[in-house]
Every structure is written in structure tokens, then in C-alpha cells.
Amino acid sequence: MFQLIASRTSSLKSDVLSGLTVALALVPEAVAFAFVAGVEPLVGLYAAFMVGLITAAIGGRPGMISGATGALAVVMVSLVALHGVEYLFATVVLMGIFQILAGVFRLGKFIRLVPHPVMLGFVNGLAIVIFLAQMKQFQFLDESTGELAWLQGNQMYLMLGLVALTMAIIHFLPKLTKALPSSLVAIVTVAALVIGLDLDARNVQDVLRDMTGDPLATIAGGFPEFHIPMVPISLETLQIIVPYALILAAIGLIESLLTLTLIDEITDTRGRGNKECVGQGVANVATGFFGGMGGCAMIGQSMININSGGRGRMSGISAALFLLAFILVGSALIEMIPVAALIGVMFMVVLGTFEWASFRLLGRIPLSDTLVGITVAVVTVLTDLAIAVIVGVIMSALVFAWKHAKQMDFTVQGDDKQKIYLPNGPLFFASIQTFRDQFDPANDPDDVIVDFANCRVMDHSGLEAIDSLADRYMKAGKELHIRHLSPECRDLLRKAGNLVEVNVIEDPKYKVATDTLA
């Protein structure tokens, strides 16, 4: 039995009103991402409804909003262009299966490997992406040229004025009352103003018309219908969809788990990553069978929800149900909403999402961390989230390895008859060259001791370095003794095995990052 309302942090009223605000902002986003992927608007809207509903009900992060996203759409477009929409539906089903398996095998815990500088870069990069995405709404389809052109004169001034009014209401209303979500009040107020004064402002219908080229374009539709993807069941089909499914599953989980982590920090609560993997997977499997394009967590809409007071599962559920109501019966009203109101809401999300405190950290944190954060932000803007996070994690790992490689140092004791080496620091792939360079088998005395009391062997490379050292001393005809290694190290060493001195009381106990030294 899942909990609809998170006690102490949310209420049914706040969740429902917040869900309505999110649903209003979901419409243009879902339609836009559908066109990015090269599919019909309803394919994006159905995905936003089904993914949002199921993840809200059974996912691991109450208050997080999921739906069709641009990060997935940019991968889908080539699949749709080459093989058609039916292959997309089959891929989304397989994507969901991969995500369920990730949750079952508890792979969600690996999100802990994402360092804080990467999180900062991710958040700042996404804030910039959200901002740049709104720029398209300041353009219109020029019928004389058939191309998009920037708004001019009074239309541009009106758009900017309405955006500013929306942002002002969102900012100042909470200082007066928190009875209603300020974003919802702003949207309703600006819409009433535009309709009441008959202002010539672009609305959702205008956006649909520009995207489709059809003046009668609408978001109206019926219930999603069960539909088995019409693709041949063959090895060739699997060869087509498996690579796309793996990429989509990875991107979806990375974006969802990072968004989950961000909301955890904002709300001072903790979501369940593995449960979210399963929730996302079930949602995508269902979406693929009901004609949707799949999806994952949406940081922009999640921030709208959190800032509007949505904390419980009912906020995401109500957002999905309101979206379905818009599709079924409320399309005419939704299409009248001024785009400026939605832009204003998203601009406030940008201001709230961007980590302005990161500017104050410049010069106060290591230069390497600053470069990682900037790189992740730039790559997020230029490519996509998954690549950016992978690049950031690799950069952070290399920096970490380099810093710890320099921590390896030696103390040498002894005389002409016996020499004792005491390495200090971690022995792993980045420090083995420093380790090797300290020894001189040709000139050392006949009795040599290497004491690992203050040195921890971290990986396969470290074990190989010890084995290689033992081989060098054996070839030089010298007697080598190795002390204070963990039992696992002793088991995995080959050439040095009979040279290791065992002291059950003093030998440390730890595991090494390797399976075997075959």
C-alpha cells in the first residue's frame, strides 16, 4: 500500500493545487519534446500522463514529476526517422525492462559515485538548458518565409511584460499569503488579463500551430489505448532496438536519480533510488504498450511542484490526472493560456534551480573541482545530461586518483645486512610506478623486508606490483619478506605467496578491488 500523502511535509490541498500548476506547464513541454522525437503531440502527452501517474504512485521519490523529456527525445529522433514509431514503442518497452532490472539488482546505489562538483554542474547546466528552451517561445512562424522569426515591436514588449508580471506574482504573492500556489495564481491571473482585455498575446494554440503548420492543431484526444508494438519478433529487431533501449534506460535513470538527489537535498528527506528505478521501468513498459514515447524525471516540473508545495505522491498523481482531463475535455481552455505565463513560471524555475552560491565558491575550493563543475555544465548545454555526468565522474575519478597517487611515500630503515622498506599510502594503479622506483634489488642487502603496516593494497594493479617486486628479488638471489598484508592479498598473490609472513593478530583485514589474478 503506497502512501498518497507524506505526513508532516505535505497536505492533500497543496498536492492537488501544485499538481494543477505542474499539469499546465507540462502541456507545451510534452508537445515540444514529441516534435523533437518526430512523433505526434499525443504521443508525448500520453507519455507525460502515464509515466507521471505510475512513477508518482509506485516510484521512490514522492513529489518528483516524470514525463516526456528532451534528453530522451534527442536519442529517439534517429530511431523514429530510420525505422518508424512502432519501433520506438518496442524500444520504450525494452527500456523499461532494463530499468526494472537495474532496480532489482540495486544499481541505483551507484548514484552515490556522482561527486558534488558534478551535481553542481548538472544543476547549473540544466538551469541554462531550461532557460534556452524558453527562447523558442519568443519566435513565431513567418508565413511568408516558412521559417521562425523573432517577435518584433509591440508583440515582443507585450510578451516581456506578461513574463515580468508572472514572475512578480510568483515572487511577491508568498509574502502575502501561501494559501494558493503562487505559480498557479500567476498563470490564472495573466490568462484572465489577456482574455479579458483581448490582448494580442501568443498562446498554447499558437505554439501548436507553429509546430505542426496546421491552424487547427489541438491537444484534444481520447484515452490511451492498449497497443502491442507492430514490429517483427526477430533477432534483427533486437539488434535495432537493444542499443537504443540501453542508452535511453541509462539516460532516464541518470536524470531521474540525479533529480531525486536534488529534491532530497531541497526537502531534507530521502528518496529510494532502487525503488525509483523499478517505478520508472514499470512506467515505461506500460507507456510503450499504450502509445507513449517514454520518459523520466523532469527537473523543471519537479522544481515547480516542490516550490508550489507539492510533497506527497498525490501531487504527481493529480498532475497526471489533470493532464488527462486537459486531453479529454479541457483542450480548448488550455490552448487559450498565454505562453508568457508559462515562460514566467519556467524562468522562476531557472532562478531557483541555478546554484548561485557556486560563484562564491570560486577560489575557495580546489581548482580541479571548479573545472569539473564548469565542464559538466558546458557539456550538459552542448550535448546531453548523460554524457555530461559521465564526463564529470571520469574527470573527478582521475583527479582523485592523481591526488592519492602523490600520497605514496617511503621510510627506509636498516644497515648493510638488512633493509626495511615501509611504504605509506594507498597502493593502486596510479601509485605503482612510485612504489616500483623505490626498490633497488641489485644493490640492496641479501635480507630485505617490505612492511605494509601503513600501506593498503587497493586493486589488482597493486597486487601485480608486489608480485613483480618479488620476482625481481628472486632473480637477484635476495631474500624478501613481506609483512602485514590482508588475508585476501595473501590468497591472491602468486609469486610472492611463499614470501609473505603471516601474523594473524597484526595483519589487517580488508578486501581488494579485484576478482582474481588469473
- Considering the domain architecture, whether residues 100 and 27 belong to the same structural domain is answered as yes
Q: Are both 106 and 206 inside the same structural domain?
A: yes
What integer pLDDT is reported at residue 9 of this predicted model? 44
β-sheet bridge partners, residue 459:
513
Number of domains in the chain: 2
Please say whether the beta carbons of 445 and 476 come within 8 A. Answer: no
In which band, very low, low, confident or very high, does the pLDDT at 504 lie, cut at 50, 70 and 90? low
Higher pLDDT, 95 or 131: 95
Nearest to 488 by CA among 511, 518, 459, 465: 511
Of 99, 94, 340, 361, the C-alpha closest to 204 is: 340
Which stretch of DSSP H or E encloses residue 449? Answer: strand 447-451
For residue 50, pLDDT over 90 is answered with: yes
pLDDT of res. 4: 41
Which of 21-25, 143-147, 417-421 is predicted least confidently? 143-147
Going by C-beta distance under 8 Å and a sequence separation of 6 or more, which residues neighbour residue 50?
Answer: 224, 283, 286, 287, 290, 292, 320
Q: Is residue 348 part of a domain?
A: yes
pLDDT of residue 283: 97
Assess contact for 353 and 130: CB atoms under 8 A.
yes
CA-closest candidate to residue 41, choices 472, 240, 331, 369: 331
Q: Which three cell numbers stand for residue 69?
A: 523529456
Query: Is residue 397 a part of any domain in this protein?
Result: no
Containing H/E element for 425? strand 418-427
Structure confidence at residue 518 as a pLDDT band (50, 70, 90): very low
Tally Cβ neighbours within 10 Å of residue 266. Answer: 15
Core vs surface per residue 331-364: b (16+ CB within 10 A) or e? beebbebbbbbbbbbbbbbbeebbbeebeeeeee
Question: 401 in a domain, yes or no?
Answer: no
Do 50 and 127 lie in a common domain? yes
Residues 343 and 451 in one domain: no
Q: Is residue 265 part of a domain?
A: yes
Between 4-18, 141-155, 213-227, the lowest mean confidence (pLDDT) is in 4-18
Residues 412 and 493 both lie in one domain: yes
**Average pLDDT of span 4-23:** 74
Q: What DSSP string describes 144-205?
A: TTTEEEE--HHHHHHHHHHHHHHHHHHHHHHHH--SS-HHHHHHHHHHHHHHHTT----BHH
Amino acid 517: pLDDT = 41
**Are residue 146 and residue 240 in the same domain, yes or no?**
yes
Q: What are 138-168's pLDDT values in tens digits? A: 888 777 777 778 888 999 999 999 999 999 9
Residue 504 falls inside a structural domain: no
Residue that finishes a domain, picked among 334, 359, 384: 359
User: Residue 461 is part of a domain; what is its CATH number?
Assistant: 3.30.750.24
Percentage, residues of the chain above pLDDT 90: 50
Q: Return mean pLDDT, the chain.
A: 88
Asked if residue 72 lies in contact with residue 320, where contact means CB atoms within 8 angstroms, the answer is no
Q: Any idea which of 179-193, 467-481, 489-503 has the lowest mean pLDDT?
A: 489-503
Q: Domain check: are 190 and 281 in the same one?
A: yes
**Are residues 426 and 306 part of one domain?**
no
Query: Which range in 88-97, 113-122, 184-193, 417-426 is most confidently predicted, on average pLDDT?
Result: 88-97
How many degrees, rounded to 5, is the angle at CA 346 between CA 152 and CA 24? 100
Q: Is residue 507 part of a domain?
A: no
Beta-carbon contacts of 57 under 8 Å, excluding residues fewer than 6 positions away, are 2, 279, 313, 316, 317
Provide the pLDDT for residue 73.
86
pLDDT given at position 355: 85
CA 190, CA 186: separation in Å to the nearest integer? 6
- Read off the pLDDT of each residue in 310-319 and give the average, rounded to a whole number: 94
Q: Which of 180-184, 207-211, 408-412 is the most confident on average?
A: 408-412
| pLDDT value for 325 | 94
Residue 337 counted as domain residue: yes
Do 473 and 355 fall into the same domain? no
In a domain, 380, yes or no: no
Q: Which of 294, 325, 359 is the last residue of a domain?
A: 359
Give the 3-state secondary structure of residue 495: coil
| Structural domain span for residue 448 | 407-499
Q: What percent of the chain has pLDDT over 70?
A: 97
- Do 354 and 418 sit in the same domain of this protein? no
Biggest alpha carbon–alpha carbon distance for the chain: 99
The pLDDT value given to residue 5? 40
Q: Count of residues for the chain?
A: 518
Whether 293 shows a pLDDT value over 90: the answer reads yes
pLDDT at 319 over 90: yes
Would you state the cell numbers that stand for residue 395, as one nine-digit string?
Answer: 574527470
Q: Which pTM does this prediction carry? A: 0.75
Residues 272 and 331 in one domain: yes
pLDDT at 426: 92
Q: 336 and 475: one domain?
A: no
